[in-house]
Structure 1
Amino acid sequence: VADFLVGFPQMALNIFHYGDCWLLGDFGCAVICTFSFFIVSVSAGNMVLISVDRYVAICDPMLYPTKVTMKRVQFSIYLCWIFSAVHTFWILRDFLQQPGRHNSCYGECVLVVNYAEVVVDLVATFLGPILIITVLYMRVFVVAVSQARAMRSHVKSVTHHRPGTVTAQKSEIKAARTLGIVVIVFLLCCSPYYIFTAAAESNLVEASSGGTEIWFLYFNSCLNPIIYAFCYPWFRKSVKHILTLQILQPDSRDTNIL
């Protein structure tokens, strides 16, 4: 839902920002800026929640059903959205009181935040999530490799042939690939925006020239569904089953997609 809201309302409303002219007035400027901060923060929080879920599932699988219950999942999601809302309104509190006070002429949409707010946003939306995700996925990777090696040793002792080695190596490669994709894509998409923000605060670049960096930040939400959904074989099979209209066949419900 968070990534969809970035792709549909957020990106669509930017159509009204034609060149240097904002067509929706000061109120529309306040709405789009607030929504942008809020939904990007939620998207980063969701990535943290998914990494926690994978950490528990792989590192403590026997207790996963008791630790990750429906109520805890719902509470975590609600908490993520509430924290993002509080974070957003605190960052933009001065801007929301008078949205157009930094505009030099009619038709501008200028957002100015002070250094302390930039630092808080940098830690809460970028450095904090990337640190948590990296630490958890490193732990997941170590456990996955150890499990693969244990499986390889078991296969060797039972069957005395090499197919188990191939399976174990594939598991190790898949774990490394997942870890790399998640961390690298997040860094590549978000780093330009936060580097630009830091440079703008230091007066190294003009604050009004950050359009490309913002679109990179939004693009992360386009890639998240690919990383977290299309990497699953059963999901790809389901999509193929739907797009090829096999789902309309009478025996469609009996198809094995796992």
Structure 2
Amino acid sequence: MEKLEEAELCFPQLLNASCKNHSRPYSLSMLIYILLSFVSLLTVVLNLLVIVSISHFRQLHTPTNLLLLSLAVSDFLVGLFVMPFQILLTEPCWFLGDLVCVLFYLLPLITICASLVNMVLISVDRYVAICDPLHYSTKISQKRFRICVLLCWIYSVFYSFMFLYDNLKQPGRYNSCFGECVINIIGAVDVVLGFILPISTIVVLYLRVFVVAVSQARAMRSHITAVKLQSSVTVTVKKSELKAARTLGVVVAVCIFCYFPSYCVTFSGSDLVMGSSTNLFVVFLVYFNSCLNPVIYGLFYPWFRKSVKLIVTLEILQSHSREACVL
């Protein structure tokens, strides 16, 4: 039987009340720091490009892009604040106090909740655009979606505070020793309201979009009379809407893939223990989703590539650059 190495205490002066400092190998710690720092910087830069593109160019001021802008803002906050703070949470000992521990989890919860609600709104937008295109302009407007985005963020803040209410009311109540940062997760409630409900809504709406898209594709291939009577402009619009639906479908699928392991851990009823390998993996996967979204835009959206080119070459500083053609 191998002899266990003696673990140092986080607070040696507290003796038995202190948590043990299970330090990692130096090389592993450096790898975690470098990886998180790189992904954080990449996330900030890519999402900032999305924010500037949609905000600056008038052609991109559409209801759908307004949702992408809101999603990019939440991803930008993840890269700017959440990921750097996560470096502190990777340490086995917590020295900043119980209240700061709870607050460290607040911003990630707000951004994660906002991302999921934005995904639901994106699915609703694509559903109306594909399944009820004749009434899209009347049902979906900039003003309505601005209100929806505002409500999305208000709901995310309220939900996160309510979710952490027990922990905020008595910080540190779930810690078993000094130097630990643990928050209690109400597994069933969070999984239902924060994952199953929004994901089910997204899946149902996209299944409907998929069915309609397939039927339209078959109709086009068979050259039925109804399609022949449509104008070429209408067909072009539908093709662009279908392409947007496919792209946003990829964004939603990647989001579900990245979030699913985290909610599996939550559903198990486990506490989020700072520095544990499981916690590090599922948290990094959730945060990495914020870096992947703008990469998907770059792969599938020509307007994003054109906008980035104009931004990088500083052509957006020229007069009338807001009117530039990027579509």
Shared fold, TM over 0.5: yes
CA separation in 2, counterparts of 1:112 and 1:15? 21
Can you give the 5+ residue segments of structure 2 that lack an aligned partner in the other structure? 1-72, 229-235
Contact 1:182 1:227 in 2 (8 A): yes
Q: How does 1:85-104 map to 2 (within 5 A)?
A: 85-104=157-176
Alignment equivalent of 1:121, drawn from 176, 190, 210:
190
1:78–1:254 CA distance, 2 compared to 1 (3 A): closer
1:37 maps onto 2:109 in alignment: yes
Contact 2:174 2:182 in 1 (8 A): yes
Deviation at 1:249, TM superposition (A): 8.0
Contact 2:167 2:183 in 1 (8 A): yes
1:2 maps onto 2:74 in alignment: yes
Contact 2:213 2:242 in 1 (8 A): no
CA separation in 1, counterparts of 2:77 and 2:320? 36
Alignment equivalent of 2:283, drawn from 183, 189, 214:
214
Can you give the 5+ residue segments of structure 1 that lack an aligned partner in the other structure? 159-166
Of stretches 73-82 and 240-249 in structure 1, the one that deviates more from structure 2 is 240-249
Contact 1:59 1:143 in 2 (8 A): yes
Deviation at 1:18, TM superposition (A): 4.6
Alignment equivalent of 1:105, drawn from 154, 172, 177:
177
Considering only aligned residues, what root-mean-square deviation do their CA atoms show, in Å?
3.4
Deviation at 1:183, TM superposition (A): 4.3
CA separation in 2, counterparts of 1:227 and 1:92? 32
1:138–1:228 CA distance, 2 compared to 1 (3 A): farther
CA deviations over 1:51-88 (Å, ceiling 9, x no partner): 11111122222211211123311221122222222222
| Correspondence for 2:308 | 239
CA separation in 2, counterparts of 1:128 and 1:58? 22
Amino acid at match of 2:114: V
Contact 1:16 1:24 in 2 (8 A): no
Q: How does 1:1-258 map to 2 (within 5 A)?
A: 1-113=73-185, 117-154=186-223, 178=247, 181-201=250-270, 208=276, 209-228=278-297, 230-244=299-313, 256-258=325-327
CA separation in 1, counterparts of 2:250 and 2:318? 36
Amino acid at match of 1:132: T
1:92–1:248 CA distance, 2 compared to 1 (3 A): closer
CA separation in 2, counterparts of 1:57 and 1:102? 47
Contact 2:262 2:286 in 1 (8 A): yes
CA separation in 1, counterparts of 2:203 and 2:318? 44
CA separation in 2, counterparts of 1:172 and 1:72? 20
1:18–1:186 CA distance, 2 compared to 1 (3 A): closer
TM-score normalised to structure 1 length: 0.78
CA separation in 2, counterparts of 1:233 and 1:45? 26
Percentage identity across aligned positions?
53
CA separation in 2, counterparts of 1:68 and 1:177? 19
For CA contacts below 8 A with separation 6 or more, give which structure has more relative contact order: 2
Deviation at 1:171, TM superposition (A): 8.4
Q: Secondary structure at the match of 2:183?
A: coil
Instruction: Tell me the number of residue pairs that the alignment of Structure 1 and Structure 2 aligns.
Output: 243
1:94–1:66 CA distance, 2 compared to 1 (3 A): same
